[in-house]
Every structure is written in C-alpha cells, then in structure tokens.
Amino acid sequence: MGTSDTPGMSVRIANLEAMFDHRGVTSAAHSSISAPALDGLPAQDRVRTLQARIREMQSSTLDSRSIPTHPAIAQLLPGGALKQGAIYSVERSATLLMALLAGPSAAGSWCGIVGMPEFGVEAAARFGVDLDRLVLVPHPGDQWLNVTAAIADVMEVVVTRPPRRADDASISRLAARLRQRDATLIVLGTWPQSEAMLSLSESDWSGIGDGHGHLSARQVTVTVTSRVHARPRSARLWLPDREATFRQAEKRFEPRLAPADLAPPLREATG
C-alpha cells in the first residue's frame, strides 16, 4: 500500500487533528504536536504520530486517578502508584501482596480479600494494613468471580486468588466494572489484562547464625513487568526488615546461610 493520501485516510487524519485543535485540549498538549510538526509527513506517519500522542494523553489522565502504595514498591510501578480501574498481578507472595495493600489501607481505602482463607490478618496488621477497613471472603466457592465483582462495587481495592482461569467474556466484564467503579484489583497469580506483574526473587534471610537463631528479616529483589515500560524494573528491598517494615535496601545483604539450605516448608510459610 502506498503512503499517498486516500479519502478514507484523509478522514482519519482530519478526525485525529480535530481532537488536538479543540479548545478543550490544554496548551501544553497542543503545542507538543503542532501542525508544522505534521506537515510533509506521509499520511500513515501522521496518523501514527497523532495516535501515539492520544495514547500518551490517555495514560496521563489515568495516572492522575491513582491511589498510593508503599513507596518502596511505588518506584517500580507505572505512574508511581496503583491506578484506579486497573488490574495488577502478584506472583506467589503473600508478603508482597500485603506491601501493596499497606499504602492504600493507611490512606483510608477499604480493602477486600476474596478466596484466601489462609490470609494472615496478624501479619497484615503488623505490616500496616488497617483491619477496621478490611473485609475477608475466604470461601466464595464457584461464585468467586461474582463475589469479586460485587466487592469491587463498594471497595477501592480488591484482592482475589482465582481457583481457575475465567473465560474471556467474564474477564472483559470484570475489567469494565472495575473501570466504572474506579476499583483496583490485585490478583494473586497471572491475569490476562494486568497493568503490571510483580514478582519476587533472590530471597535472602537474616537472623540465623551457626545452626541457631530466628528468621528476623528478608531481603529480596522485586521486579515489575508492565505494558508501559519497555523493560522490567527491579529493586532490592527489605521485605520486611527487623522492625517489620518495608524499605529499599541500601546494599545487598550477604546471608551467612544460603537460601537453599533452608527447609522448603519454612521458606514457603514465611513467604
């Protein structure tokens, strides 16, 4: 296909350019892609340039509708916060999940936990989750998706662990409902429409000496893979430190006992 203007292409360009010529668009947005910048470009390039700018504007708008999460994790997230109406996936870490909840909960958000009967409320409270604004639905059964949607109607942050993969139509309906209600969903596991996936690796514990002692702190690498950033973002964090708080690690901790030497049941129970 050539790059010359066709009637259909001209209509598309005119419609897109009209969006930037509208008086409601801010002057900064308008000046960043002025008419001279488009002059001389082939039709298809003009369309792609305008579409890219539209996506950027939409992204900025969504970023402004956000709720805070813990600063140690916020630095890795697109926009530096959790977006309202978006979905995030957390890979197999209850502690990382609680770190995500601590910020919204401390800021006054109500949080709901669906399908996680083993969720540790004492640990959550120690990590900063306000139990007075926490609702648990430990056994939703086959209605887990409907329960998740219902909780999202009234709460700002919802956590769910799907017992199985939902069908595409149900996934789309839930995503639309979250956007309508400005609710944020955190899925423990994978989810096809996630804004970002958070994973944990390189877990090193401190507190164990030469065959004695107690696990007291853990340093991990948290990685966020998102649709916005071209490359995954990673940071070394205390999750938690000796005071049961989450923070960025100034330097890498060198454990006296290698993680592989820890008994697997102990490692899983504390993760």
From first to last of its 271 residues, what are the pLDDT tens digits of the chain? Answer: 444 445 554 544 454 444 444 333 333 333 334 444 556 667 666 666 666 555 555 444 444 478 888 888 888 998 889 999 999 999 888 888 998 998 899 889 999 999 999 999 998 998 889 999 999 999 999 999 999 999 999 999 999 999 888 899 999 999 999 999 999 999 999 898 899 999 988 777 765 554 444 556 778 888 999 887 778 998 888 776 666 667 676 655 555 444 443 333 333 334 4
Beta strand extents in 126-255 (DSSP E only): 134-137, 157-160, 184-188, 196-208, 213-226, 233-238, 247-248
Of 141, 171, 195, at which residue does a domain stop? 195
Residue 156's domain spans which residues?
67-195
For position 180, what pLDDT does the model report? 93
Q: Are residues 121 and 58 in the same domain?
A: no
| DSSP line for 22-68 | STTS-HHHHHTT-HHHHTT--HHHHHHHHHHHHHHHHHHHHHHSEE-
Q: Are 143 and 44 members of one domain? A: no
The pLDDT value recorded for residue 28 is: 35
Other CB atoms closer than 10 Å to residue 224's CB: what's the count?
Answer: 21
CB 140 within 8 A of CB 158: no
Alpha helices in the chain, H assignment, sequence order: 7-21, 27-31, 35-38, 43-64, 71-74, 94-106, 121-126, 144-152, 168-181, 264-270
Query: Using CA atoms, how far apart are residues 217 and 224, in angstroms rounded to an integer?
Result: 22
Name residue 221's amino acid. T
Q: Which residues, in sequence order, are bridge partners of residue 268? A: none
Structure confidence at residue 120 (pLDDT):
92
Residue 1, domain member (yes or no): no
Could you give the CA distance from residue 270 to residue 179 in angstroms, rounded to a whole number? 34
Among 64, 82, 101, residue at a domain's last position = 64
In this prediction, residue 247 carries a pLDDT of 67
Does 210 lie in the same domain as 152? Answer: no
Q: Dihedral sign, CA of 84, 90, 94, 98?
A: negative
Contact indicator for 16, 47 with CB cutoff of 8 Å: yes
**Of 151, 169, 195, which closes a domain?**
195
Rounded to whole angstroms, the Cα distance separating 260 from 253 reads: 16
Measure the CA–CA gap between 59 and 194, rounded to whole angstroms. 15
Residues 146 and 176 placed together within one structural domain of the fold: yes
Give φ, ψ of 114 to 5 degrees.
Answer: -115, 125
Q: What is the pTM (predicted TM-score) of this model?
A: 0.66
Residues 181 and 144 in one domain: yes
CATH code for the domain in which residue 179 is found: 3.40.50.300
Residue 223's φ and ψ, nearest 5 degrees, are: -120, 135
- What's the number of domains the chain is made of? 3
Q: Give whole-number Cα distances, 193 to 53, 108, 146, 178, in Å.
A: 22, 26, 18, 12
pLDDT for residue 211:
46
* One domain, residues 245 and 184: no
Tell me whether strands 184-188 and 157-160 are parallel, antiparallel or unpaired.
parallel
How many angstroms separate the CA atoms of 156 and 105, rounded?
A: 10
Query: Within 10 A of 59 (CB to CB), how many other CB atoms are there?
Result: 14
